[in-house]
Amino acid sequence: MKIIVTQTMPKQALQRLREEAHGDEIVVVDREGKALDSGDLSDGEAFMRWWSPHAASEAVLRQAPRLKWMHTPSAGLDQVLFPALVESDVTLTNSSGVHAVPISEWVILYTLAAAKRLPELLAAQREHHWLRDLKLQELTDMTMLILGYGAIGRAVAQRALPFGMRIIAARSGSKNRDDGQQQGVEVVYGDAWRAALPTADFVVVSLPLTAQTRGMVDAAALAAMKPSAWFINIARGQIADEDALLQALQQGRIAGAGLDAFGEEPLPANHPLYSLPDSKVILTPHISWSSPLIEQRTLGLFLENLRRYKAGESLLNVVDKQRGY
């Protein structure tokens, strides 16, 4: 069979793919979806769109009428789906779970930084100030509300539970057969997460961006949070009403926010979030997913699915293109 990959795939990963895809022809396309070395895409069956521009995927789909399966290295699909792909018969798989470890660790970083007031201590260090009159907190018995109980949400819960935290995880739809597998996690469904907001010390967003989740954390949700609570977003900035969040922070209606995702990225240098005190906000450049193991995990998932595809077995991480996750 013929496998199409984008030029953005690291050389080491491409070499491993060539070694393990026994007997398969691999065609590399550039960032615009044009085949290199006079390659032919017309009979391509599988497409690995390593981190590449939107235009490359659209161009490949146009040139590969026999394409059956496309894989994306991302977990989120908001920057991957386009009308022709959604309407096609091409099976789409994503890399859900690949980034769960570093992102969940980042959430714990935010929670510890907030409880131990690390931003203020670092600011005092820069000013050569011996700051001892801070009231610090323990995570023990604090409540974390996780919006989104997928791979990342579960990994967050796994790392928060040993700190003695109470975990409430919210998911759409009805009860899933594996919802009870994490002992100590209370799972709620539909809009029930809103009733849990007044009890939460940390509200963590780990949802995909879809038509249903866009703007989900609105002014009413922020108003329901207690003044001592922190809002953490490691998913997509558009899931929260950023203006309402800014106002809640400026007016002290919530204690703070740890943000690794924004409505506009890079976050403009003149954005008012930068003007908030260190004690109220921790801003990071959408980097919580970063780890030296991501490339290995991503390729490993693709190779396992390639084996399954050839064997006629069900693929891992097949997404619903209509629902967006």
- The separation between CA 111 and the C-alpha centre of its own chain, rounded to angstroms, equals 17
For the chain, state the CA radius of gyration. Answer: 22
Round to whole Å and give the CA distance between 246 and 244.
5
- The 10s digit of each residue's pLDDT in 208-254 is 999 999 999 999 999 999 999 999 999 999 999 999 999 999 999 99
Average pLDDT in the chain: 96
pLDDT at residue 85 in the model: 97
- The separation between CA 290 and the C-alpha centre of its own chain, rounded to angstroms, equals 11
Q: Which pLDDT band holds residue 258 (cuts at 50, 70, 90)?
A: very high
What are the structural domains of the chain?
2-98+292-311 (3.40.50.720), 100-283 (3.40.50.720)
- Catalytic residues, by residue number, are 236, 265, 286
Round to whole Å and give the CA distance between 275 and 18.
49
Token pair listed for 151: 């791979």
Q: pTM to 2 decimals? A: 0.95
For residue 177, is pLDDT > 80? no
Cβ–Cβ < 8 Å for 213, 245:
no
All residues at 6 or more sequence positions from 313 whose CB lies less than 8 Å from its CB, including other chains: 307
All residues at 6 or more sequence positions from 225 whose CB lies less than 8 Å from its CB, including other chains: 197, 198, 200, 203, 231, 248, 253, 254
φ, ψ for residue 210 (rounded to 5)? -135, 175
pLDDT at residue 176 in the model: 76
- Closest C-alpha to 280, from 146, 103, 110: 110
